[in-house]
Structure 1
Amino acid sequence: MTAQTLKEHKKAGILIAIVLILAAGIIWYLTRPVNTPLTLHGNVDVRQVSLTFNASERIATMNVEEGDRVHKGDVLATLNTTPLKLTIARCQAQIAQQKAVVAKMHNGSRPEEIAEAAAAVQSAQAEADNAAADYQRMSTLYASNAISRQTLDTAEAKAKSTAASLAKSQSAHALADNGYRQEDIDAAEAQLQSLENELQTAQYNLSQATLIAPQDGVIRSRLVEPGDMASPSTPVYTLSLDTTKWIRAYISENRLGQIHEGQTATVTIDSVPTPLTGQVGYISDTAEFTPKSVETEDLRTSLVYEVRIYVTDLDNVLRLGMPATVTF
């Protein structure tokens, strides 16, 4: 091997070494831990609840508008209660009547009522006897062609009618004298219980005719108007709650190792002069394509992870959708 050949081999070795060093440097740069400060861009998010009536009736009043602040217990809307109040009044009247029936069954008839029933039997007996005798007489006259068939039929009908009245009077006297059977009393008490249950249902429906704010918050949407038909499946308002607020942001996979749940962060809002303190409360386990609402255009087609940074908004200055900058 000549000196020239050795020299060429030496140059080739040097070039290969340089290429390997450069490749190693590039690999290290691409895979190195990123320790630069982390800044995420996102928007304020809040919990929302759809408020509905638990009854079906026409809406009478709508007391708040979109953007109004409400407090727990505030009356937001009411239903037309006239049909419900009429139902309650009817149930109360029926219950009072049925209670009197049950009390009479338990107490039995008074002596004067028994005497009255006995007198009614005697009167019915006399009428039945007279009608029967009259029918017999008419039958004899009809046999001798002294009266028409119609006259005989009238006498027969009266005899049967008075006999039925006598049987009814005798049954009423026996009931007054002996009292009601236990199964009749049980049936009357069951009817009373059914009426009381119906009253409770009507009173509950009346209590559901008022829509109450479940928590403090801001009315975001007013979805119906007075005169509309309300139902459990028809939202009336959308309420943004004050209880929990967070910043929804997205982070790329190569920066994911820089955050963890419980980590504190500084949240900056353009319209709020003082930065807020936040804490990472949620990191998604699943990658997704960044929503179009993200601020950085080059990340919109990238796979990222959703992050929620919860903040304490004591002054209630944060509003749904506000852009926010989160710095770790």
Structure 2
Amino acid sequence: MQRILVILILVIAAAGGTWWYLHRDDGSNALVLYGNVDFRQLTLAFNGSERVAEVLVEEGAQVKKGQIVARLDTSRLQPQVAQAEAQAASQRANLARLKNGSRPEEIAQGRANLESAKAEAVNARAQFERQNALAPKAVVSQQALDEARSAAAVADAKVVSNQKALDLLVVGSRLEDIDEAEAQLHAAEANVSLLHQQLADAELKAPVDAIVQSRLIEPGEMASPTRAAFSLATISPKWVRTYASETQLGMLRPGMKASVAVDSLPGQTIPGWVGFISSVAEFTPKSVQTEELRTSLVYEVRVFVDDPNNMLRLGMPATVTPLPGEQARLATAQQQ
């Protein structure tokens, strides 16, 4: 019995030692990835063609989103804006006049003109009738009679003309005239908006927080949309582009925390996290110099980092190590 108890204790001890050996965290099974620092770069150009008036930043300067970095000469554009605004104001007033219709004073004037024309017509008709009554007695000549008849007809036509003019004053503008005036106003306002946009485009602004890598234009030079004025490097996000083999994919997951080390910061690590794991395999890039991996199929992994002090540089070699606790939690989740 004593012998069986000893054997049982030895078996338990051996099992415990085996479990400790398999689950010990001595760093020998830790995943280590090697890659290079990467971030986005962009070229910035003016949206118009004009001579450069000012360049406000130097190479190496840190710029904020929306900050003005350069300006174009607007001496020829400003008068065009003023002219377009004046034309739009004129069209706006014309449209208001058509929509408001005739003023009461204009209608009153039209009625007065009509009454005057009617009085003249009555007088001209009376003159013609008198001339016509005397014609059989040969008191007036045929020419005088014809002239009286013509004057009466002209007076009647003037009455009709003044009546039509009064009707137009009372009715107001035609809908077609109002529509035409509205279209002309929209065209004038669109021209104003276009010139204001050109005026705004004369100020070149940084689209994101970035570092000025290259200043490619100087005051006095001619800018154009096809000519880059600045080369910028974004401050955030930054990441380490690395590659993992198929056997290492099981030890990674998006969101996993990791530490990033670079040779320029000995003894220091930068916190990061796995932000992207490619679903497509590719051949190991030439930047990875390990011969046994050079012909292997690998998957791109991006480990994003916070670098508020801008210590990391483009292409800088980096070592990525997922935190031991993260690997342990992933292993436990896979076992479950």
The TM-score, its normalising length taken from structure 1, stands at 0.62
CA offsets per residue over residues 42-78 of structure 1, 9 Å max, x none? Answer: 1111133443434444443332233221122321122
Report the CA distance shift for 1:223/1:176 in structure 2 as closer, same or farther (over 3 A).
farther
What's the counterpart of residue 230 of structure 1?
A: 224
Q: Distance in 1 between matches of 2:91 and 2:161?
A: 22
Q: Distance in 1 between matches of 2:163 and 2:52?
A: 55
User: What secondary structure is seen at the aligned counterpart in 2 of 1:317?
Assistant: coil
Q: Distance in 1 between matches of 2:318 and 2:192?
A: 54
Give the deviation of 1:303 after TM superposition: 2.4
Letter in 2 for 1:291: P
Q: Is the 8 A contact 1:108 1:176 kept in 2?
A: no
User: What secondary structure is seen at the aligned counterpart in 1 of 2:76?
Assistant: helix
Q: Is the 8 A contact 2:213 2:233 kept in 1?
A: yes
Matched, 1:78 2:71: yes
Q: Is the 8 A contact 1:42 1:295 kept in 2?
A: no
Q: Distance in 2 between matches of 1:185 and 1:171?
A: 24
Letter in 1 for 2:307: D
Q: Distance in 1 between matches of 2:198 and 2:206?
A: 18
Q: Distance in 2 between matches of 1:113 and 1:191?
A: 31
What's the counterpart of residue 265 of structure 2?
A: 272
Letter in 2 for 1:305: Y
Which of the numbers 287, 307, 315 marks the counterpart of 1:321?
315
What's the counterpart of residue 192 of structure 2?
A: 199
Give the deviation of 1:234 after TM superposition: 4.7
What's the counterpart of residue 263 of structure 1?
A: 256
What's the counterpart of residue 293 of structure 2?
A: 299
Gaps of 5+ in 2: 1-27, 118-159, 323-336
Number of residue pairs aligned between Structure 1 and Structure 2: 246
Report the CA distance shift for 1:228/1:302 in structure 2 as closer, same or farther (over 3 A).
farther
Which of the numbers 44, 47, 51 marks the counterpart of 2:40?
47
Q: Is the 8 A contact 2:70 2:203 kept in 1?
A: yes
Matched, 1:310 2:310: no
CA offsets per residue over residues 149-181 of structure 1, 9 Å max, x none? Answer: xxxxxxxxxxxxxxxxxxxxx999976884363
Q: Is the 8 A contact 2:240 2:303 kept in 1?
A: yes
Letter in 2 for 1:43: N
Q: Is the 8 A contact 1:44 1:319 kept in 2?
A: yes
Q: Is the 8 A contact 1:267 1:277 kept in 2?
A: yes
Which of the numbers 279, 282, 285 marks the counterpart of 1:288?
282
Report the CA distance shift for 1:174/1:288 in structure 2 as closer, same or farther (over 3 A).
same
Q: Is the 8 A contact 2:46 2:223 kept in 1?
A: no
Q: Distance in 2 between matches of 1:304 and 1:185?
A: 70
Q: Distance in 1 between matches of 2:320 and 2:162?
A: 89
Report the CA distance shift for 1:178/1:253 in structure 2 as closer, same or farther (over 3 A).
closer
Report the CA distance shift for 1:186/1:297 in structure 2 as closer, same or farther (over 3 A).
same
What's the counterpart of residue 202 of structure 2?
A: 209
User: What secondary structure is seen at the aligned counterpart in 2 of 1:258?
Assistant: coil
Report the CA distance shift for 1:263/1:112 in structure 2 as closer, same or farther (over 3 A).
closer
RMSD of aligned Cα (Å): 3.6
CA offsets per residue over residues 62-100 of structure 1, 9 Å max, x none? Answer: 322332211223211222323332221111221233344
Report the CA distance shift for 1:321/1:171 in structure 2 as closer, same or farther (over 3 A).
farther
Gaps of 5+ in 1: 1-34, 123-169
Question: What percent of counterpart residues are identical?
Answer: 45
Give the deviation of 1:319 after TM superposition: 1.9
Give the deviation of 1:203 after TM superposition: 1.3
What's the counterpart of residue 63 of structure 1?
A: 56
Report the CA distance shift for 1:181/1:104 in structure 2 as closer, same or farther (over 3 A).
closer
The TM-score, its normalising length taken from structure 2, stands at 0.61
Letter in 2 for 1:182: R
Letter in 2 for 1:41: Y
Report the CA distance shift for 1:290/1:186 in structure 2 as closer, same or farther (over 3 A).
same
Mean Cα deviation higher: 47-56 or 265-274? 47-56
Q: Distance in 2 between matches of 1:80 and 1:207?
A: 12
Letter in 1 for 2:318: A
